[in-house]
Amino acid sequence: KECYLNFDDSVFCDSVLATNVSRQECCCSLGAGWGDHCEIYPCPVLNSIEFHTLCPDGKGFILDETILNYGIPTHRDIDECSLFGEEICKEGKCVNTQPGYECYCKQGFYYDANLLECVDVDECLDESNCVNGRCENTRGSFHCACPASTTYDPAQKKCIPTSKIDKVTDRRDVCWQLRGEDGMCSSPFGGQQLTYEECCCRHGKGWGYQCHACPPRSPGSNCQSGPSESNSFWDFNTPFGEVHKEADSSEEDSDECRCLNGRCVRTQQGSVCECPTGFQLDSTRTRCL
């Protein structure tokens, strides 16, 4: 039968979590009602006698008669991620736990337990993210538009005089050769860290641990730009200085380290995948979940 998320909702017929599930699987996990074609039987109230009868091992577990312990059926964890799929973790990565589950969202998103999906964080609600500028929220990030003669410095989170920008552009970080529409960077360039100018003017599509977008390169461009939280330019009064020599192609090995949602870091033993706070490296050691 079908498992329903909201029994009292006026459109509860549209709140189907899964089909072809047992009453235990539904009511002992996330379900509010169970039935067929909108003929729904309410799930028992948590901690009631009826609930303990149906779910003797508590929420998140069911009795499994195929697993016996001295002839007695034992409890089994309900894998909500397999049972309900994307319905409980839209736009995120669902990971089963015992009991329950965790929904991991991409950077710039948070999990809304009521909507059961990853929702964009409005960074502009925090005024400290764009001091002296105009904050514009984007999906998964934000853009800080600065007044004339000033430039956004992501380290200080504020617009600073362009005359001081040389100190910012001296910083070196990872240069990404690919940046997807979802704002995720991959394929780090070589094994060296580059300045924003070196990366975006010659090699990459994204720069830095936060995957700042490089502006599109065009013929005749003097590359008068710098890192921001979106695709917009940093304007300079003068063209960039001399760009360092391009790295020897023998040093470039973008296939050596594959690191989805994380950052490739080169060590003496080779390249490793480093994950941001809140993420863990999976068993293949190529993805941060």
**Is the pLDDT assigned to residue 233 strictly greater than 60?**
no
Average pLDDT over residues 100-112: 88
Rounded to a whole number of angstroms, the CA Rg of the chain reads 25
Share of the chain above pLDDT 90, in %: 9
* Domain ranges across the chain: 2-78, 123-161, 172-213
pLDDT at site 73: 63
Whole-model pTM: value is: 0.53
CATH fold for domain 123-161: Laminin (2.10.25)
Amino acid found at 103: C
Looking at every residue in the chain, the average pLDDT score rounds to 74
The rounded distance, in Å, linking the Cα atoms of 67 and 153 is 59
**Least trusted range by pLDDT, from 57-66, 68-77, 92-101:** 68-77
Average pLDDT over residues 163-183: 72
CATH fold for domain 2-78: Extracellular Matrix Fibrillin (3.90.290)
| Phi and psi angles of residue 92, each rounded to the nearest 5 degrees, phi first | -135, -175
Q: Are 160 and 151 in contact (CB under 8 A)?
A: yes
Buried (b) or exposed (e) across 231-258, using 16+ Cβ within 10 A? ebebebeeebeeeeeebeeeebebeebb
Q: Are 223 and 235 in contact (CB under 8 A)?
A: no
- Within 8 A by CB and 6+ apart from 138, the residues are 229, 230
Q: Are 263 and 209 in contact (CB under 8 A)?
A: yes
**Is the pLDDT assigned to residue 224 strictly greater than 80?**
no
